[in-house]
Structure 1
Amino acid sequence: MLPCRLPESPESQCRSRILDLVFIIDSSRSIRPSDFEKVKTFLGLMVDTLAVGPDATRVAVVNYASTVKIEFLLKDHFNKPDMKKAISRIEPLAAGTMTGLAIKTAVNEAFTEQSGARPPSSNIAKVAIIVTDGRPQDHVGDISAAARAEGIEIYAIGVDRADMASLKQMASLPLEDHVFYVETYGVIEKLTSTFQETLCGLDPCSTGNDCEHTCVNSNASFYCKCSSGYILNADQKTCSLKQVKVEMVVDPCKCEARRAFQKQAQAAMQQLTAEFADVAGRIERLEEALGRV
């Protein structure tokens, strides 16, 4: 995915994509309480940049150290105040850095439809943002590869002593768009604007389309739609009037009456023909008799 640049004008065409977004945050012992508060501030700022709602972006948070805790699911909060309040209540878990276990938990429990993720048919992007300052104490390579194979786009943020090799193992390609590093938690907030650009989505209909009638945005793409009374042509762009098939409705009673009349007329003609033949025969015999006199 290539990041798009935010125009400075208020008519910016760059808007937050609709996502199923899961934050996976490291709260191991190496992170001081004050630094963990900065992580939560970063999450709150990220929420502010998103269009949050049941039909917009849904957010979940997975907290981990040596154990993993799902703080809230994609289906739990659909407005920013409730979501930010839930973030403010998150507490660090202390020892350990089981990043692989956290990613596996996110895939198996946070990104499921039961937990509020949209089905594949909805074409809603699934995105995980991992924040860590250390080296994983478990294997992340295979677990991250399995997550990416499930269609989850992974961004890895390393802070301070974070292991860059592990970040690259976790992140999606291209790595230059999915791996970030900051020296301290004090500057992690600066990544908010970077992610706002990275997660933005252009409005395809406003940037040019060939639809004859109506252009409809569909996540990162669009499709054409015709006005009532028209159908979309094979080129999926132009429209044609619907062909109205007119069927002649014949009154069966009239048909029966016509057939009955035809039968009666045919019988009458046959009878007249027979009578005419009989009269003609009589005249012929009478003429023969007169000719013999």
Structure 2
Amino acid sequence: MSCSLLARLWPLLLLLPGTLAGPGVRRFGPRGPGGSPGRRPTDSGSGQSSAGVCKSRPLDLVFILDSSRSVRPQEFSKVKTFVSRIIDTLAIGPEDTRVAVVNYASTVRVEFPLRAHLDRRSLQRAVAGLEPLSTGTMSGLALQTAMEQVLTVRAGARGPAARIPKVAVIVTDGRPQDQVAPVAARARARGIELYAVGVGRAPLGSLRSMASAPLRDHVFYVETYGVIEKLSSRFQETFCAVDLCALGTHQCQHVCVSDGDGKHHCECSQGYALNADKKTCSAVDKCALNTHGCEHICVNDRAGFYHCECHEGYVLNEDKKTCSAQDQCALGTHDCQHMCVNDRSGVHHCECYEGYSLNEDKKTCTVQNKCALGNHGCQHVCVSDGPNSYHCDCYADYTLNEDKKTCSAIEEARRLISSEDACGCEATLAFQDKVSTYLQRLNTKLDGILEKLQEHESGQSHH
């Protein structure tokens, strides 16, 4: 078979299943995989598909475009459309995806770095303004330039701490004229993910040598530039993460949290803990777990909910967890009938006024009968005069001494007086008898006078 005939049959041979293209290569023609028509997602301007559940991951993305002489101007225009449609599906911005373009042939030119265009409109204008270069296919040099001059922090890429993937998409239709495999190996070793897109007669071996593993997900092929735009939807699927939380297929009982890259995890509402199945939730007794943070007392309200309380004599602070001592005597909340006495912070006791005793309730008071209590001090008899009041009396033939508590016998007192001053006593007694006799006589005269006055008044009333 002549070389000219093989060249004409090459596109047809690549369309036959299992021929030449071999395993590990995604082939796309005028129709998509499985015979379904190729389609691009509706542009929502937000980096999401029309389904609303495919959100692009943040990327540091560089397109490395072959614009050698074999790529005619109208074909290079198709490449720009392909790039623009991929950009349509990405969230572009300083915190989202940043895009750069490297244009190469026999020379390499960085058309714009990652930091140059941080919004979609500006980025697409820059892509539309790209122009092809000339002869040559220096794929290795182009990849080396992207690695050293584009995917660096100085040129606008995010640092390692940001954990933003570094991605390069190489589009070529020819055989590299330099060593590309060692450069690609160094790029992969640095963590750069490489996609190889071959058009027409691009050698499969060189595509595989450039791409990352698995090759099935990183090597793409189309027969002509006329259908390269069909690949834009495939890159949308590649660069997007399906949000299972938004789809509602997560099976989380409470909360679904998207982690990105199509991954998610389940969480539970406050007061619940995730079960071993990582999907369902069980109520947590926080008081029992001792994770409540209450200073004094934790009280369960219902499953998974609680509140804090304080010991008697303390009040809950504004943080609803700690407690401060209350001066209940000062607050007037003590319930003591007579007196409230503070013992220490927040603790008190009740006392009664003198003459009263504290009842069993430790709050109210009852009047004391000091005669009954036996602490009156009376030698003979204690007589209660009222609440906390009394006086002392003596038995018959005894008299109360000046101390108002002790008693002395009367006869003994008289003997003492007689022996001390007998004469004085006789004179006193004689004088007392004389005065008594005089008073009796005076009373008799007064009685006679009163009778006469009564008779006179009776006569006057009769007339």
Q: TM-score range by the shorter chain?
A: 0.7 to 0.9
Closer, same or farther: CA 216–181 of 1 in aligned 2, 3 Å: closer
Match status 1:87 vs 2:117 = no
Match status 1:126 vs 2:166 = yes
Q: Which residue of 2 aligns with 1:52?
A: 92
Closer, same or farther: CA 116–204 of 1 in aligned 2, 3 Å: farther
Alpha-carbon contact 2:62-2:168 (below 8 Å) kept: yes
Match status 1:201 vs 2:201 = no
Alignment of 1:26-45 (within 5 A): 26-45=66-85
Q: Which of structures 1 and 2 has the bigger CA Rg?
A: 2
Unaligned 5+ residue runs, structure 1?
A: 252-256, 259-293
Shift of 1:24: 0.5
Shift of 1:73: 1.5
SS of residue matched to 2:154: helix
1:116, 1:219 → 2: CA distance?
23
Q: 1:244 aligns with which of 293, 309, 312?
A: 293
Alpha-carbon contact 1:123-1:219 (below 8 Å) kept: no
Alpha-carbon contact 1:19-1:126 (below 8 Å) kept: yes
Q: CA RMSD in A?
A: 3.3
Closer, same or farther: CA 17–209 of 1 in aligned 2, 3 Å: farther
Shift of 1:219: 4.3
Letter in 1 for 2:263: S
Alignment of 1:94-113 (within 5 A): 94-113=134-153
SS of residue matched to 1:130: strand
Alpha-carbon contact 1:59-1:74 (below 8 Å) kept: yes
1:209, 1:108 → 2: CA distance?
45
Q: Which residue of 2 aligns with 1:215?
A: 257
1:244-272 CA-partner distances (Å, limit 9, x unpaired): 15267789xxxxx98xxxxxxxxxxxxxx
1:78, 1:211 → 2: CA distance?
39
Match status 1:78 vs 2:118 = yes
Alpha-carbon contact 1:205-1:217 (below 8 Å) kept: no
1:104, 1:230 → 2: CA distance?
54
Closer, same or farther: CA 119–210 of 1 in aligned 2, 3 Å: farther
1:44, 1:7 → 2: CA distance?
13
2:165, 2:119 → 1: CA distance?
19
1:58, 1:124 → 2: CA distance?
10
Higher RCO structure, 1 or 2 (CA under 8 Å, sep 6+): 1
Unaligned 5+ residue runs, structure 2?
A: 1-25, 27-32, 34-39, 43-48, 296-321, 327-342, 345-463
Closer, same or farther: CA 40–142 of 1 in aligned 2, 3 Å: same
Shift of 1:109: 1.8
TM-score by length of 2: 0.48
Select between 120-129 and 64-73 the one with higher mean Cα deviation.
120-129
Closer, same or farther: CA 96–78 of 1 in aligned 2, 3 Å: same
Alpha-carbon contact 1:17-1:200 (below 8 Å) kept: yes
1:107, 1:15 → 2: CA distance?
26
Shift of 1:27: 1.1
SS of residue matched to 1:54: coil
Alpha-carbon contact 2:102-2:111 (below 8 Å) kept: yes
Alpha-carbon contact 1:7-1:13 (below 8 Å) kept: no
Closer, same or farther: CA 234–98 of 1 in aligned 2, 3 Å: farther
Shift of 1:214: 5.8
SS of residue matched to 2:81: helix
SS of residue matched to 1:189: helix
Letter in 1 for 2:222: V
Closer, same or farther: CA 234–106 of 1 in aligned 2, 3 Å: farther
1:181-239 CA-partner distances (Å, limit 9, x unpaired): 11221121121122222322111434416475562434443456677x77988988869
SS of residue matched to 1:61: strand
Could you say which structure has the higher helix fraction? 1
Letter in 1 for 2:106: S
SS of residue matched to 1:114: coil
Match status 1:17 vs 2:57 = yes
What is the percentage of aligned positions where both structures have the same residue? 51
Letter in 1 for 2:215: L
SS of residue matched to 2:257: strand
Closer, same or farther: CA 248–80 of 1 in aligned 2, 3 Å: closer
1:81-104 CA-partner distances (Å, limit 9, x unpaired): 111111122122212211111111
Shift of 1:125: 2.2
1:233, 1:115 → 2: CA distance?
44
